[in-house]
C-alpha cells in the first residue's frame, strides 16, 4: 500500500478508533460475563446451598441433584456458575477437593460426549473409544476416589439432551448410583432447563427422581430489571452517558409485569445496542431513540438464538445461512431442501469450505429442528412431488442473515 493510500485508510479508521465512545468496558455487557453479584437471585443461591450443604458436612453419603428451571434470561446459568465457583472455594476452606463443571448440552449432545467433557474438565485420561458409558463413568469415579475428590456437574440446556437422546441415557445420568457405583457418591448434578414439561413426560422411574429438588427462576419484573441494568451501566459505561430515564425505559419494555419478556439477557443486549447506536451517531449520551432502534433489532427470539448459534459448528452456520438466503430469494415461508443445498454449496465455495454430502446436510437440518431453530414439513399443495420443506420463524430473516454472516466471518 502506497503512502497516500495508507494515509487515506488511516484517516477513515481514525475517525472510528479515535472517536469518543460511551463505553468504558463493553465486555461487561457480554452474555459470558459473570458479575460479582446477581440481584434478585439470592433465594435461588440459598436454595442451591441448602441442596449441596451435606456435601460439605457429611462428605456426600448421598447423591445430590437439583433442577434449575425458568425462561430465557432469568439467571439460571449465571446463578449456577456463581454457585459453582463459590462452593468450590468454600469446600477448599473445609479441606474438601470439589470441582464445578459446566457443560452445554448443545455442544456435548450425547452421553459419551458429556462423559468426555467431564473427564476433560477433571483432567482425567480416559480412552474415548472402545469403552461403554458405564466404563467411562467408572473411570471418572475411580480417579475421584483415588484423589479423594468430588464433582458437581451442571448440564445446561438439559431439555435438549432429553429430547435428543434415548431414555436410557437420561436414566443413566439420573440413577447412575442405583446399581454399579457403591461407596461415597463422588459426582453430583445440576440440571438446567427452560421448562420441566419434557421431564414430566418421562417414565416415572426417572421423572420422580428429577422432581425431588426443583428451583424456579421467575421472569424479572421491571423494577428488578432496572436495578440489574443500573449495575451494568456502572460497569460498562462512562459516567453520565446513560440516564435513569433510559434505564427505566428499557426495564419497562422488557419487564414481565409490563408484558415484556422478563429477560435480563434481552434487556442487557438492548442496552448494549443502544450504546452502539449512540457511538455510531457520534453522540456522548444514549437517548430514548437509541433504545427504540435497539429494541427493533434485539428481538427476544433472536437473542435466545444467540446461545445456540455460538454452539453450532461452522457448517451448521453456513447451512442455516443458506436456508435464510433461499427463503429470502424465493419469498416463501418454506423452501425445498434441494434448493437450500444449491445455495449451501455456493456459500461453501465462497467461504473456502468443502461442502458436506446430502445425508450429512439432512442430519444437520434434523438437529436444528430439534433445537427449535428451524421448522420442517412435508411438501403438499403447490409443490411437485413429495419432499422435505424447511422454514424459519425464530427471527427476522434480515437480522438473522446479518448475525450469521458476522459469526461465520469471525469463526473463519
pLDDT in tens, 47-83: 999 999 998 887 656 788 899 999 999 999 999 999 9
Q: How far apart are CA 21 and CA 238, in angstroms?
A: 9
One domain, residues 102 and 201: yes
Q: How confident is the model at residue 262 (pLDDT cuts 50, 70, 90)?
A: very high
One domain, residues 213 and 224: no
In a domain, 5, yes or no: no
Does 3 or 137 have the greater pLDDT score?
137
In a domain, 3, yes or no: no
In a domain, 9, yes or no: no
Instruction: State mean pLDDT over 131-148.
Output: 90
In a domain, 14, yes or no: no
Q: How confident is the model at residue 258 (pLDDT cuts 50, 70, 90)?
A: confident
Q: How confident is the model at residue 185 (pLDDT cuts 50, 70, 90)?
A: confident
> Of 247, 276, 298, which residue sits at a domain end?
298
Whole-number mean pLDDT of the chain?
88
Q: In what helix (H) or strand (E) does residue 146 lie, and over which residues does it extend?
A: helix 133-146
Highest mean pLDDT among 168-177, 293-302, 399-408: 399-408
One domain, residues 191 and 262: no
Look at strands 214-217 and 149-156 and give their pairing.
Answer: unpaired
pLDDT at 334: 85
Q: What is the pLDDT of residues 273-319, one digit of tens each?
A: 999 999 999 999 999 989 988 988 887 666 667 777 888 899 999 99
One domain, residues 97 and 129: yes
One domain, residues 268 and 347: no
Total domain count, the chain: 3
pLDDT at 399: 80
pLDDT at 10 over 80: no
Q: How confident is the model at residue 254 (pLDDT cuts 50, 70, 90)?
A: very high
Name the phi and psi angles at 243, rounded to 5.
-80, 165
Q: How far apart are CA 114 and CA 396, in angstroms?
A: 33
In a domain, 101, yes or no: yes
pLDDT at 387: 78
> Of 217, 237, 259, which residue sits at a domain end?
217
Contact 155, 192 (CB under 8 A): yes
Q: How confident is the model at residue 128 (pLDDT cuts 50, 70, 90)?
A: confident
> Of 191, 217, 243, which residue sits at a domain end?
217
pLDDT at 233: 98
Q: How far apart are CA 51 and CA 57, in angstroms?
A: 12
pLDDT at 217 over 90: yes
Q: In what helix (H) or strand (E) does residue 68 lie, and over which residues does it extend?
A: strand 65-70
Q: What is the pLDDT of residues 146-159, one digit of tens each?
A: 999 999 999 999 98
Any residues with CB less than 8 A from the CB of 166 and at least 6 apart, and which?
none
Contact 67, 213 (CB under 8 A): yes
In a domain, 294, yes or no: yes
**What domain range includes position 285?**
19-32+220-298
One domain, residues 23 and 161: no
Contact 288, 259 (CB under 8 A): no
One domain, residues 24 and 51: no
User: pTM above 0.85?
Assistant: no
CATH number at residue 191: 3.40.50.300
Q: What is the pLDDT of residues 25-50, one digit of tens each?
A: 999 999 999 999 999 999 999 999 99
CATH number at residue 358: 1.10.10.10
One domain, residues 72 and 180: yes
Q: In this predicted structure, which of 107-121, 299-313, 347-361, 366-380 has the lowest mean pLDDT?
A: 299-313
pLDDT at 64: 87
pLDDT at 382: 55
One domain, residues 151 and 59: yes
pLDDT at 17: 63
Contact 262, 219 (CB under 8 A): yes
pLDDT at 204: 74
One domain, residues 136 and 272: no
In a domain, 228, yes or no: yes
CATH number at residue 259: 1.10.8.60
Torsion, CA 78, CA 53, CA 64, CA 43, rounded to 10: -40
- Strands (E) located in 196-350: 214-217, 335-336
One domain, residues 270 and 327: no
Does 406 or 218 have the greater pLDDT score?
218
One domain, residues 343 and 224: no
pLDDT at 12: 65
In a domain, 37, yes or no: no
Amino acid at each position: 500500500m502506497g503512502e497516500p493510500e495508507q494515509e487515506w485508510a488511516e484517516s477513515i479508521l481514525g475517525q472510528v478508533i479515535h472517536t469518543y465512545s460511551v463505553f468504558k468496558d463493553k465486555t461487561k455487557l457480554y452474555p459470558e460475563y459473570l458479575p460479582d453479584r446477581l440481584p434478585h437471585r439470592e433465594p435461588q443461591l440459598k436454595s442451591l446451598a441448602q441442596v449441596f450443604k451435606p456435601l460439605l458436612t457429611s462428605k456426600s453419603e448421598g447423591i445430590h441433584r437439583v433442577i434449575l428451571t425458568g425462561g430465557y434470561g432469568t439467571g439460571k446459568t449465571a446463578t449456577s456458575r456463581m454457585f459453582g465457583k463459590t462452593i468450590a472455594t468454600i469446600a477448599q476452606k473445609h479441606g474438601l477437593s470439589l470441582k464445578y463443571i459446566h457443560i452445554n448440552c448443545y455442544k456435548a449432545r450425547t452421553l459419551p460426549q458429556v462423559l468426555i467433557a467431564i473427564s476433560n474438565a477433571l483432567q482425567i485420561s480416559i480412552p474415548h473409544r472402545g469403552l461403554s458409558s458405564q466404563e467411562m463413568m467408572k473411570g471418572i469415579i475411580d480417579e475421584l476416589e483415588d484423589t479423594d475428590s468430588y464433582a458437581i456437574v451442571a448440564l445446561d440446556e438439559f431439555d435438549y439432551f432429553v429430547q435428543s437422546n434415548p431414555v436410557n441415557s437420561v436414566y443413566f445420568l439420573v440413577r447412575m448410583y442405583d446399581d454399579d457405583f457403591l461407596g461415597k457418591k463422588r459426582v453430583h448434578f445440576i440440571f438446567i432447563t427452560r421448562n420441566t414439561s419434557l421431564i414430566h413426560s418421562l417414565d416415572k422411574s426417572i421423572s420422580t427422581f428429577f422432581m425431588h429438588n426443583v428451583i424456579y427462576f421467575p421472569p424479572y419484573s421491571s423494577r428488578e430489571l432496572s436495578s440489574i441494568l443500573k449495575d451494568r451501566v456502572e460497569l460498562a459505561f462512562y459516567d453520565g452517558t446513560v440516564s435513569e430515564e433510559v434505564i427505566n425505559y428499557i426495564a419497562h419494555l422488557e419487564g414481565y409485569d409490563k408484558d415484556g419478556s422478563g429477560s435480563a439477557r434481552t434487556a442487557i443486549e438492548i442496552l448494549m445496542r443502544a450504546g452502539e447506536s449512540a457511538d455510531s451517531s457520534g453522540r456522548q449520551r444514549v437517548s430514548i431513540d437509541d433504545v427504540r432502534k435497539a429494541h427493533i433489532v434485539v428481538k427476544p427470539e433472536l437473542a435466545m438464538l444467540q446461545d445456540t448459534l455460538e454452539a453450532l459448528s461452522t457448517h451448521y452456520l453456513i447451512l442455516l445461512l443458506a436456508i435464510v438466503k433461499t427463503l429470502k430469494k424465493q419469498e416463501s415461508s418454506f423452501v425445498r431442501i434441494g434448493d437450500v443445498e444449491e445455495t449451501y454449496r455456493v456459500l461453501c465455495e465462497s467461504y473456502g469450505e468443502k461442502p458436506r454430502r446430502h445425508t450429512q446436510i439432512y442430519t444437520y437440518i434434523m438437529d436444528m429442528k430439534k433445537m427449535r431453530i428451524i421448522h420442517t414439513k412435508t411438501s403438499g399443495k403447490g409443490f411437485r412431488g413429495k419432499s422435505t420443506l424447511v422454514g424459519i420463524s425464530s427471527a427476522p430473516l434480515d437480522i438473522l442473515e446479518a448475525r450469521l454472516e458476522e459469526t461465520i466471518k469471525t469463526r473463519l
